[in-house]
Structure 1
Amino acid sequence: MNFTTERLTVRPFLKQDIEDVYTIYKDELTCKYLLHEHWTSENKEMEFEKKLENSTLSKNNALSLAVVTSSSKTIGDLSIWYTSMKDTVEVGYCFSKDENGKGYATEAMNGLANQLFADFQLHRIQATLDARNTASKKVCERIGMRQEAYFVQDYWSKNEWTDSIVFGMLLSDLK
């Protein structure tokens, strides 16, 4: 899957993206609400290889996409995988802290939602967030997703119980 937005190109990861992606994921604060710890110089190649392997979305394989600026800098990561529910995918996203506040996450996620509904004839797109992640919550809301559930201390992550929020959207919710 490849697509462009007004300011961004979204495409599968390439080997040359490793240092930009490492810059995103080596930051502990960026990874605070993610399911994994921050990357280290020791595990960056192994972690990045997973992104390279996830180059096609199928029922058995997740898709990882690079979000790239016009200057060819990789500033974000979009992940998509099918859930067990018919014609439903879940999405995840992470962006460089250096690009916060510029609207890139909203732009990329809006483009992704449009592309997914067009290319895969999906019924539903959903996202599950750590409830403390207010920036991610705002992205979901901006692209037309609605909050559908709030779970209290339902997930054990990084040595603590955390609350989760589930957002969802149908084709008719696209903005």
Structure 2
Amino acid sequence: MDMADVGGATTTAPEMIRTDRLVLRTYRPGDHRDLLTFYGRSDVCRYLLNDPWDLAEAREAVQSRICRRDLAAGAVALVVESDGMVVGSVSAWLVEESGCTAETAHTAEVGWAFSPDFGGRGFATEAVTALIDLVFATPRLRRVVAQMDARNESSARLARRIGMRREAHFRQNAWIKNEWTDTVVFSMLRSEWPSVA
């Protein structure tokens, strides 16, 4: 992975991160069209907090994500491309823990969404691995978590595939889309991540 612009003390996302097969880049105007092709699908949004986007919601989401370029300032959001095609999106944000503020947080939460049209090729694994490399480029961060609907088996498999451990299962703790849902939490410590261990 080429992250030459990402030093050990910063988490400002470079304009582009290259992996073996992917480009992770910051959001830009016009991305709403490509993202709508999967965020507009009910099967993709089934276990997400949001319903499928319409065109206006896609524009609004992209506009809010354009400024998410610095994890130290709160969040980073990236579009994932393969051969110039948008295949997904990944993001990370600081989590305020007990006794900590956003400025002193030691934990980041990560999230992702990918187009089923590009499934089965390992793109999600490759992209989320690059995202966690970027997160752990912040020396103070010692822990990464991912929370998801307990029924979202594909996201749970991805979390396990990259080495995260399931640490909690909260039963009917969230009222989402007119039903009580379970939440599972996966985590990883800095000391467990191969590139920094």
> TM (normalized to structure 1)?
0.92
Q: How many Å apart are 1:121 and its aligned residue? A: 3.9
Q: What letter corresponds to residue 79 of structure 1 in structure 2?
A: S
Among candidates 138, 141, 157, match of residue 157 of structure 2: 138
Q: How many Å apart are 1:120 and its aligned residue? A: 4.6
**Match of residue 11 from structure 1:** 25
Q: For structure 1, list consecutive stretches of 5 or more residues without a partner in the other structure.
A: none
The change in CA–CA distance for 1:102 and 1:131 in structure 2 (over 3 A counts) is same
Q: How many Å apart are 1:16 and its aligned residue? A: 3.5
SS of the residue 2:166 aligns to: strand
Structure 1: which 4+ aligned runs deviate by more than 3 Å?
none
SS of the residue 2:160 aligns to: helix
Q: How many Å apart are 1:78 and its aligned residue? A: 0.7
In 2, are the aligned partners of 1:143 and 1:174 still within 8 Å (CA)? Answer: no
Residues matched between the structures, number: 173
Q: What letter corresponds to residue 90 of structure 2 in structure 1?
A: L
The change in CA–CA distance for 1:119 and 1:10 in structure 2 (over 3 A counts) is farther
**Match of residue 81 from structure 2:** 68
Give the Cα separation in 2 of the matches to 1:23 and 1:120: 36
Give the Cα separation in 1 of the matches to 2:121 and 2:58: 27
* Pair 1:26 & 2:45 matched: no
Among candidates 170, 176, 180, match of residue 161 of structure 1: 180
RMSD between superposed Cα atoms in Å: 1.4
Give the Cα separation in 1 of the matches to 2:33 and 2:81: 13
**Bigger radius of gyration among the two:** 2
Superposed CA offset, 1:47-82 (max 9, x none): 2211213222234x322111111x211111111110
Superposed CA offset, 1:30-58 (max 9, x none): 00100111101232211221121322223
In 2, are the aligned partners of 1:125 and 1:170 still within 8 Å (CA)? Answer: yes
Give the Cα separation in 2 of the matches to 1:44 and 1:79: 16
Give the Cα separation in 2 of the matches to 1:96 and 1:88: 27
**Match of residue 82 from structure 1:** 94
Give the Cα separation in 2 of the matches to 1:47 and 1:109: 20
The change in CA–CA distance for 1:58 and 1:105 in structure 2 (over 3 A counts) is same
SS of the residue 1:48 aligns to: helix
Q: How many Å apart are 1:118 and its aligned residue? A: 2.3
User: Higher strand proportion, which one?
Assistant: 1
SS of the residue 2:38 aligns to: helix
In 1, are the aligned partners of 2:169 and 2:185 still within 8 Å (CA)? Answer: yes
**Match of residue 58 from structure 1:** 72
SS of the residue 2:54 aligns to: coil
The change in CA–CA distance for 1:120 and 1:98 in structure 2 (over 3 A counts) is farther
